[in-house]
Amino acid sequence: MHRRAEGSYLSHDSPTPNYRGLLNLGVIILVISNFRILLGTMREYGFVLTHGYFSVPDEEYSFKWKDIVDVPFVFTMIMLNIFVIFAYLIELGISRRFLKEWLGISLHIINTNLSLLLPMVIVWKYINSPVNGAVLQMSSTVLWMKLISYAHANADYRHFPDRNVENIIQNTDEESISLNYPRNITVTNIYYFWFAPTLTYQMVFPRLVRRSKGQILNLVLRLFFCFVLLVFLVAQVFRPTLNNLMEELNELKGEDMHILSVHIFAEYILKLGIASSYIWLLVFYGFFHVLLNLLAQLLRFGDRVFYRDWWNSTNMSSYWRLWNLPVHYWLVRHLYFPCIRIGMSKSAAMFMVFFFSAVVHEMLISVSIYNTQPRFDSHRCRNVKITEI
């Protein structure tokens, strides 16, 4: 019955309604629509996953399962251990005064940069698979950043022994409570840091009480599912759609070529945009949530906040801070604050952070696909004006 004046639920003067049902309907429509697109690609291209590879069309750059045991790839992955051992020996020599500090720092610089440059040369000259190249480039870059953090943090521990921030760290092991420099310079300590899901070195990390076997099994299964789904999307949707786009553009002739190419390009960009979004989200979930949590469980690493709610970001500043916390912490600790300490302004320090990030991303992509033209991340430096650390 009509008892009082009241606005409709979708009007601006209504009480805040619950839109959960509409959200569920939207999710159902989204799933059905994208499943229809997937069926369309299977009808048009067939079940292409049976081809046994996924890559760009050129067979020279195709990934095959035998590439996993490629000799240069395996050799270089094993060789990364040498740089870890050298970093330990250099820091051990400095801590026990076998090496003068200036000499130790120089050796750290040489060892750290070789850990990045040697794998890069091997990828460029001896590795044909872009997948292997990307994995090796990523591994060497992560190690490079970790070795910088290891040398930088231990220099701080050495110069400022009273600044023991480890006293404020919670959930530590009993044997780690009284740990100080140089007692942290051990092979076990540096190898734990190498495999830990973090880029910034500390003597002590928050630790889990115990490993959860059920959680480890769950994460392994999720990681396998993410990998299979990623391979399927690349092989079934992304690669054939991209190939078909190139074929249609090459077949265009005549005066209407420009207009038709724009229409075709727009159509395929929409198709590729959906596939790219799924692939990006899948890579993010598989790496930042599943893989890093799996490493945390195996190593009993306590701080498992590898990202925050970047999906609620309202500007670029929030997005860059929240979506990749390990890299953000590294940039703040080892680049931004050192720039501030030497007298740079905040704007100049932010420019250095974005320029460094652009160069590293460009290097990761360009070397892996054997293309040195700087085209992928130049837009990052244009975000300096609108982004704050």
Catalytic residue among 108, 263, 289, 361: 361
* Token pair recorded at residue 117: 């440059």
Q: What span, in angstroms and rounded, lies between the C-alpha atoms of 209 and 201?
A: 21
The residues near 64 (Cβ < 8 Å, ≥ 6 apart) are 52, 53, 129
CA angle in degrees (0–180, nearest 5) for 121-148-107:
75
Instruction: Check residue 323 and report its DSSP letter.
Output: S
Q: What span, in angstroms and rounded, lies between the C-alpha atoms of 85 and 296?
A: 23
Q: What span, in angstroms and rounded, lies between the C-alpha atoms of 200 and 170?
A: 17
Closest CA to 119 of 371, 360, 367: 367
Phi, psi of 47 (to 5 degrees): -90, 85
Q: What span, in angstroms and rounded, lies between the C-alpha atoms of 63 and 227?
A: 14
- Judge whether 258 counts as a catalytic residue: no
Q: What span, in angstroms and rounded, lies between the C-alpha atoms of 212 and 287?
A: 19
- Helix (H) or strand (E) holding 371, with range, is none
Q: What are the residue numbers of the active site?
A: 361
